[in-house]
Every structure is written in structure tokens, then in C-alpha cells.
Structure 1
Amino acid sequence: MRILQLAPQDDSPPFELQVRALEARGIECTTVTVPGSVGPNTSRSVVDYLRFHPAVLRESFGSYDLVHANYGLTVPFALAQPRLPVVCSLWGSDLDGELGWISRHAARFCEATIVMSERMRHSLGRPAHVIPHGVDLDVFRPQPRSSAVAELDWDPDARHVLFPYKPDRTVKHYERAARIVEAVDDACATPVTLQTAEGVPHERMSTYMNAADCLLLTSRREGSPNVVKEALACNLPVVSTDVGDVRERIDGVVPSAVCETDGALRQAVQTIVERGERSNGRAQATEIDAERMAADLEAVYRSVADERSVRTRPHADRMDEDRVADESENRSNADSIESDPVTALRTVDRSSRIRR
């Protein structure tokens, strides 16, 4: 199979792993990403997304079986090409955030929708496949804590709580994590330090998780946070707010906890660091292995491709004629959009853009 992947960026570790796992199964992937750059609390402009459209349109003329739109804001651009069926994956903030209405509306026109958790499927309110991003269990695995602490030059006599994000990512609520760990430190005889993952390459996160005594997640919202699944794979206890699929992921994992209040979060962290025990999370991690994720995605792809083949075969000749006309028209549209995106997009007929 050949899949056209659309993504907001190609350096997202979960997305990179997804592509690698699919290609390991013999599925060819070509990725088109949204132009421009994004910061911790900033997003791409409307013009960036307008520039995305002609790139998607041009690439969709290639020999692909379908388009996989990863993240809600890429879905309208997948639907704006006339040739290929569309599978969309919603990651979390694209469903629950302020622009979630775009994802909800666009998902209605896709041949298949994928979400990260049962909670997201319930929130979407329509049929969807639950296929969370996977974890590379060869990279994220238990290691001796003492050697990991030494490698990071952390205090071997202290307890370490890992906040796995940059402090300036507002949605992750670093201030709350700092407040909780400060209270734990005051209550414990052993020093307790809050460690962050500022500028840490993804391949180094396994060392951080093996050096830490507890992962603390204070996010306001999440889809299926990969840091929790990676922590499970390293047997790192998790304490988290009730976001995304965390409650589902740590069900049966001891010690770990999902809490709502600052007091409950503080107590859970304190209990874990005082006991100094690792969790049994690795046993749960087989459910989110990258190979399993890729197999589940391939099953969705083949179902969509097979359904399209059955649906179009009786009308193949007519559809070939339509496809040639569509390609000519849309190549012209792509040229127009590239030279003057705002004016050109106003003149493109929507019905031709979503017809398959």
C-alpha cells in the first residue's frame, strides 16, 4: 500500500514512530506537512494553512491508496482533494480545544476516523476506531535507576519527580506541578526535586524516566499522552490529573494514581517517593506497542481501500474520465492557489473539491 500522510509537523516523535512502524510492515508513506513554524504557545497562521492546500492537492495526484490526515486541522485539506478516500486521526487537543468544532465537522466526511482513547470516541459522538499512538518498547524499557541518575548527574540522595514537558507549555500547567512537589518536599525527610524535560531529545527520555521516582502530569487536557505510556514501559509510577486516556492506561498499575485536587496529587506523589518502588507498568505496555499500533492502522487502511474498490468498480470507466477532468481542473487550482491563495480559494467550487 501507498499512503499519503498529512501532518502538522514531521518531527513529532509519536508521528515519526507511526511512520516507521508502518514502513516496517511494507506500507510506503509520503508525508506532507503544514508550512511555517510553531512555538510552545503559538500556532501557525491562516496563510500557512492556505499554503498547505496546493501542496496537498499536487501530491494527491500520485499513486496512493488513500490519504491519512493526522490532526484535526489537516483534515479539511485532505477532503479538498477529489481522488482519494480519507482516514483521519484526532490526537486530543484538536478535538477538545477551541478549534475542535473543525475536527468534529470534518470527521463526518472521512471514510474512517481514528481517535486516541475511548473518552475521545465518546466525545466525538460518532463511530471511530480507538488506536492510540504506540511506544517503542526497545527504547523505553527498565534500566538500573542508579546508573540513570549518575548519567544525568542528579543528586543520588534525593527523590526525583519528572515533569515531562517544557515549563512554558501553558496547557501542561507547570506551576501546579511545582506547587505540588514543593509541598511534598516540605513533608518528606528526604529531599524531593522537580525535574523537567526542557530541550531533552526524545531518545534520551528513557534515561530520564528510569532516573525518576515518579512521573507527574498536571495537564489541563490531553488525548493519549505518550509520556504516560513511555513511563509504563519503564516501570515508572505515574500520578496524573484525569485527562485523556490516562485513567484507562494506568488501570491495574501499582503504584500509580489519577487525582483531581492538589491535595490528592500531593499525597499520591508523597506516598510513591517515600516508598521508592517501581511500578508494574511494563506488563500493561504490550497493549500500546508500536507494532500493534501499525497492524491496527493497516487493518483500517485496507478496509477503506477495499470498500472504495468495491464501490467504484462498476463505474470504473466513467470515474476514470471524471478523474482526468478533476486532475486537470485541480492542477490549475493548485497553480492559482500557490500564486494568490486567498483569492483563489474563494473561487474553488467546494463540491468538486470533496467529490470522490
Structure 2
Amino acid sequence: MKVLFVSSGNSKAFDIAPFIKVQGESLREKQIDIEYFKITGKGFSGYLSNVKLLKEQLKSNEFDVIHAHFTLSAWVVVLAMPRVPVVLSLMGDDARGRVRKLVKNRVYINFFTFSTLLIQPFVKKIISKSPNLEKFVWQKKKSYLLPNGVDVQKFCPTEQDFREELGLIKDKKYVLFLGNTQDPTKNFQLLNATREKLALHGIEIVSPYPIPHQQVFKYLNSVDVLVMCSLDEGSPNVVKEGMACNCKGVFTDVGDVRYLVNNTPGYAITDFDADDLTQKILEVMEMDTCKGRQRLLDLKLDLPTVADKLKRIYQEAQA
């Protein structure tokens, strides 16, 4: 089977988003030939400028399935009029719209949501990374719920000391934030508001974004607590990678996070409140054990298992 991955190539930090590249490589382990088409240009018009380029690639290459990551990528594929099935992965803000501030009872009427609703008749299968995204799929017969998997061979607990390499002080306590601090949706300002109170306990915040994906493993095995305080997510990979490394964590209740951590020792869910976040960080830091890795394995979110499920979706799309 030969599959073309279509996704954004606009990031200055990454050639292809790490979670997309990891998924592609996991499928190669299942004897699926993966190629990538990177979309350059921002906004709807920027994406549309890639339709002609994709048509040319489809003329010179034969694929069995095209897998579009994010709705705008799927529009590029659909308008290129391929003769093979199109699979769409909904990732987060492509269904719900970009969230820049916390609003209760938010009404999801926006360009991104509208485009996600409109494209569904033109694709064969739709994959949602979490239940809060799947609710935007109205063509239920096409719908699958499948979070991204984690490479549990690469993301694992280790006794190896990376602190000196990462410029971290050996005996200091650290809270890790891996998101883009300039992205309002990632909500770094909430964690930043805890800085002075954490400092009173000898705890420092480290936010190394952007870093190569292979560095993430080293940070997760070098800090005391991982914090993810986004305003909105689907199924955040950073949470699952932290769990795979048995890195303790405090997270906001977004996407499928509450389901992921459940009552697993080593984790806590925080409100969107700096005092509550501070208290949860201190509580988690004092916990004796962390069972994140076992919870992740129990959920069968390792890469090979997820790749098998994705392969079956491709096969059903061809039927």
C-alpha cells in the first residue's frame, strides 16, 4: 500500500510536525510506503495555491490512499480531484476554531468549523483525535476515534542524567513547559503567573521551545513536573509522551486529558487559575510514585497498536 501524507510545511521549527512524521514512520514498519506533500502558504488562499502542485505530484505518482492532516489540507486534496480515497484527520482547531482566551459556553461558529462540516461528503473516512473533536463529525458512518500513538521504545524512563547537557542545575527542581510560549492557545501566561510562588519553593520554570523532537525525551527525564495548561487541545501528544517517560504532570482539563490520566498516580488536573495550578504542581511534586507509562500501555496507545488500527482504516477506505 502506498499512502500520501498531506500536511502543513509552514513551521519554522519543524520540516514536518513531529507527531505526523512519527505516525508516518510507524506505518512504514507495517509495510506501508509513505510519501509527504508539504503545503506552504498560510490562510485559505495560501493553502489553495498548492492545489496545482499537488495535482502535478498525483499525475506522476500513484497512491492507494491520501491522508490529509487538518481540514485545510484536506481541501487542497479534494480540489486536486484525486482518484483515490481521502482520509481526513481532525487535529484540534481545524474543527473547533482557534481558542485565544477562555470563554465559558463558547459557540463554535467560525470559518474552521464551517469548513470541517462542509468537507465531510468529499472524504472517505474521518479520524478524530479525541471525543471533543468527533462531535463535529456529522457523517457518523465515516467516523473513527483514534488518538496518536507514542513511541514507547524511545519515550521511556531512564536513569541517565541529561541535566548537564541541557544546561539544568543538578539539584534544582524544574517545571517543564514544552509548548510555544507565544501561542495564546498554549496559555503559557497561566504558568508564568505561578513563577514567583514556585520560586519560593526553589522551583524554576523551563520552556525550551522550539527543540528537536529527540530532545523532548531528555527534558521529560530531567525535570520534576510537566505542565500543559492549554485553553484547547485534541489529544495532546506532549501529555502522552510525558506519561510514557513516567514524568509527573499537571494539566488543564482539555481534549481527552482527563480520560488519559484518569486517577493515575503522579498526575493532577488544574483549573485555569494560577493559585490552583501552583498548588497542584506542589502536590504532584511530592508524590512518591508515577504510573503514567503503565496507564498509557493499558490504553494501548503505543505506536504499533495505533498503526495497526490506522492501516485497517486505510483498507476500509479502499473497499
What corresponds to 1:124 in structure 2? 137
Structure 1: 5+ residue runs without aligned partners? 37-43, 307-356
Greater relative contact order (CA < 8 Å, ≥ 6 in sequence): 1
What corresponds to 1:83 in structure 2? 83
Question: For the aligned residues, what is the CA RMSD?
Answer: 1.8
Task: Tell me how far 1:259 sits from its aligned partner.
Answer: 2.0
What corresponds to 2:239 in structure 1? 228
Identity level (%): 27
Q: TM-score, normalised by structure 2?
A: 0.86
Which of 50, 53, 75 matches 1:52? Answer: 50
Q: Given residue 154 of structure 2, which amino acid in structure 1 is its aligned partner?
A: V
Higher-helix-fraction structure = 1
Please give the secondary structure, in 2, of the residue aligned with 1:63: coil
Contact 1:7 1:69 (C-alpha < 8 Å) held by counterparts = yes
Are positions 1:169 and 2:183 aligned together? yes
Q: Given residue 87 of structure 1, which amino acid in structure 2 is its aligned partner?
A: V
Please give the secondary structure, in 1, of the residue aligned with 2:278: helix
Whole-Å Cα distance in 1 between the matches of residues 132 and 267 of structure 2?
A: 20
List per-residue Cα deviations over 1:70-116 (Å, max 9, x = no partner). 11111112222141221110111111115222122212431110010
Q: Given residue 119 of structure 1, which amino acid in structure 2 is its aligned partner?
A: N
Whole-Å Cα distance in 2 between the matches of residues 235 and 294 of structure 1?
A: 23
Are positions 1:115 and 2:128 aligned together? yes
Q: 1:3 to 1:152 in 2, by over 3 A?
A: same
Which of 244, 249, 260 matches 1:238? Answer: 249
Task: Map 1:88-167 to 2 at 5 A.
Answer: 88-97=88-97, 98=110, 99-127=112-140, 128-144=143-159, 147-167=161-181
Task: Tell me how far 1:205 sits from its aligned partner.
Answer: 0.7
Range moving further from structure 2, 47-56 or 205-214: 47-56
What corresponds to 2:24 in structure 1? 19
List per-residue Cα deviations over 1:231-260 (Å, max 9, x = no partner). 000001121111111111111321211222
Whole-Å Cα distance in 2 between the matches of residues 276 and 195 of structure 1?
A: 21
Contact 1:216 1:240 (C-alpha < 8 Å) held by counterparts = yes
Contact 1:161 1:181 (C-alpha < 8 Å) held by counterparts = no
Based on CA coordinates, which of the two structures has the bigger radius of gyration? 1
Structure 2: 5+ residue runs without aligned partners? 10-14, 98-109
Whole-Å Cα distance in 2 between the matches of residues 108 and 268 of structure 1?
A: 44
Contact 2:3 2:32 (C-alpha < 8 Å) held by counterparts = yes
Contact 2:250 2:284 (C-alpha < 8 Å) held by counterparts = no
Q: 1:86 to 1:233 in 2, by over 3 A?
A: same
List per-residue Cα deviations over 1:184-212 (Å, max 9, x = no partner). 333x3xx0000112232110111101111
Task: Map 1:198-237 to 2 at 5 A.
Answer: 198-237=209-248
Q: TM-score, normalised by structure 1?
A: 0.78
